[in-house]
Chains A and B, each alone.
Chain A
Amino acid sequence: MRKRSLLSTAAAYPHIVWMVLFIVAPLLFVLYYAFTDPSGAFTLENVTALGSHKTTFVLSIALSVIATFLCFIIGYPLAWIISRADPGRQRIYMMLIMLPMWTNLLIRTYSMMAIMDDGGFLNGILAALHLGKVHLIGTKGAVLFGMVYDFLPYMVLPIYTVMNKIDPRLTEAASDLGAGGWRVLTKVTMPLSMSGVVSGITMVFVPSISTFYISQKLGGGSFELIGDTIERQFQNETTYNVGAMISLVMMVLILISLAVMNKFSDESEEILP
């Protein structure tokens, strides 16, 4: 009897079943592994093991903060310029921004490798121009470039969407009251597009901090990011548990930054109509 009612409840709320199966259960697994040793006994050893990955954490956070910042610096003006173009043009520009996202991340990353490699496309051109060589692959710069290139659309998209919704009469009102182009931007457009900036930052920061593929390929194995560390732990049965612990810490970090970001966007939302 009891079982039947549970089943019918489940049938009535497919989204709950979905969430239990694909979100709650995996989370519980992560929790379980994080606090057990390979034999399955409870332990806090994995927490101590975190200490040896401190530099990786710091490097990952630093790189993803820089990547997010660069995306913002490039993405904000881009979104602004696009939002001011005439409607037909806007669609074309947005298409161009989204186009790379239709290519698989692996293929994109491999192409970047081919371009930046010591004997690659870029160095080939430089050599042909007798300009010497640049060593790119294996540097943090290359990884940053990869992150910015891959995640830029996630910054542009939400900012553009919010900017597009700003009533054009507000910017007209500002220039009417004596604001030139720059001050219309800083006094009206920027404050009113904060919610887009906040979602853009979140959408770039989260994948940046957990990326492993970009750093492996463009970093050339010369350093490791936290995503790589987690991947490596899970390639070896004996280090599953440490991997789970690192994932857990990452999750908590991301949740905290999301919460902080949400608070910001709530505040800026409040004053929007």
Chain B
Amino acid sequence: MEKIIELKNISKSFDGEAVLKHIDLYIGNSEFITLLGPSGCGKTTTLRIIGGFEKPDEGDVIFEGTRINDVPAHKRSVNTVFQKYALFPHLNVFENIAFALRLQKCPKEEIRRRVKEMLSLVALEGFERKNVTLLSGGQQQRVAIARALISHPKILLLDEPLGALDLKLRKDMQNELKNIQKQTGITFIYVTHDQEEALSMSDTVVVMADGEIQQIGTPIDIYNEPVNAFVADFIGESNIVDGVMPADRTVRFSGHTFECLDGGFAANEAVDVVIRPEDIDVVSPDQSPLTGTVTGVTFKGVHYEIIVDVGGFKWMIQSTDFVEEGARIGLKIGPDDIHVMKKSRYSGLYGDYSSFSDELDELSDADKVEE
């Protein structure tokens, strides 16, 4: 894949506080890449550096082989869909979308034609004369996308473009954005802190935390082979337990030895072991060495979410079979259900469901919507 943009050893601090630390990233042409990470991890700052609104303290931004650190935003072939759209309130829908072409002094006829094309691309035909401040959130979003796409930028930056929309509209817009990206072939650099959105839309996901890139990979790689406890926890649900690797293909945790597929660790190296809740089978206690007591069951629609106390450590299981609270069950884990990771500074911080409660989950979801 041809590289369109490269970030080389980018660092940035605000008021003496390091916000980005040695970011290295390259992005291929026509790729849909997503920066994913918790609030404050530096996603927006990374986008702003690519867009030309912020200068890195250190490192280079390379666009098609040329260093562009000193090229101002208006001379970059990079357009942005801002988090809160930032539509021009003094211009109507047509003029908002035509803004870039008017600056280029395009002939009137061409402007009319291309705006019309854009309006049909974002399904807003007939909205030309509407006042942008009176549009709904989803409609403003579409105008913002059309406005950014009309000048055929090489890269489109999208900073949580769907953050303000309700769930249903979000899903629709996710599909539309993905389609637009395929149709136009423009490189999309997308920012979100919604892991589901990241996994379902992207060719490549970049997981960030604390101003550092934790992992870069396809959604499937990131999900199946997280590099550390942070990524494992941030993407989907994970049970993360302490373990040791006595030898390749063998891992010991929770007092038992299991067969696994991982290797390449030092003998008896301490590791983090990830087991996804949906990979654990509920069996009767005599069929598995790993047993525990059910402490909570929540119905989730497709499956039950079962919290099991295994020797003081709380595991989460997702199963379509109902189990009684208080029941003793066995946990069956196959070799390919186990993923072994090196210890990192995130070890021990995530992956235990002792303090888990749905209420907390809902609270943090509500936060997301408000943002």
Contacts and interface: CB of A to CB of B under 8 A. Distances in A.
A271 B74 contact: no
Contacts, number: 65
B51 interface: yes
Contact of A271 (B72, B79, B133): B133
Interface stretch (A104-112, A173-181, A203-211): A173-181
Contacts of B78: 176
B80 A188 contact: no
A175 B89 contact: no
B148 interface: yes
Contacts of B82: 169, 172-173
Contact of A179 (B103, B131, B133, B148): B103
B103 A175 contact: no
Contacts of A268: 90
A273 interface: yes
Contacts of B87: 173
Nearest to B76: A176
A192 B90 contact: yes
A271 B99 contact: no
A187 B96 CA distance: 11
Interface string B106-137: 00000000000000000000000001010000
Which interface class (under 10, 10 to 19, 20 to 34, 35 or more) fits A? 20 to 34
Contact of B100 (A170, A172, A178, A271): A178
Contacts of A273: 89, 133
Contacts of B249: none
A178 B84 CA distance: 19
A272 interface: yes
A174 B133 CA distance: 17
Given A172-B53, A172-B73, A173-B82, A178 B151 contact: yes
Nearest to B78: A176
A119 interface: no
B43 interface: no
A188 B131 CA distance: 16
Interface string B62-102: 00000000001111001110101011111000000001100
Interface residues of B, number: 25
Nearest to A270: B131
A271 B87 CA distance: 12
B147 interface: yes
A176 B151 CA distance: 11
A167 B131 contact: no
A53 interface: no
Contacts of B79: 176-177
Contact of B51 (A174, A176, A180, A272): A176
B74 A176 contact: yes
Nearest to A271: B90
Contact of A170 (B73, B86, B147, B148): B86
B86 A167 contact: yes
Contacts of A192: 89-90
A183 interface: yes
B357 interface: no
8 closest A-B pairs by beta carbon, nearest first, are A169-B86, A177-B100, A175-B74, A173-B86, A191-B90, A175-B73, A178-B103, A271-B90
14 contacts: A169-B84, A172-B86, A173-B82, A173-B86, A173-B88, A174-B99, A176-B53, A176-B74, A177-B74, A187-B99, A188-B88, A191-B90, A192-B89, A273-B89
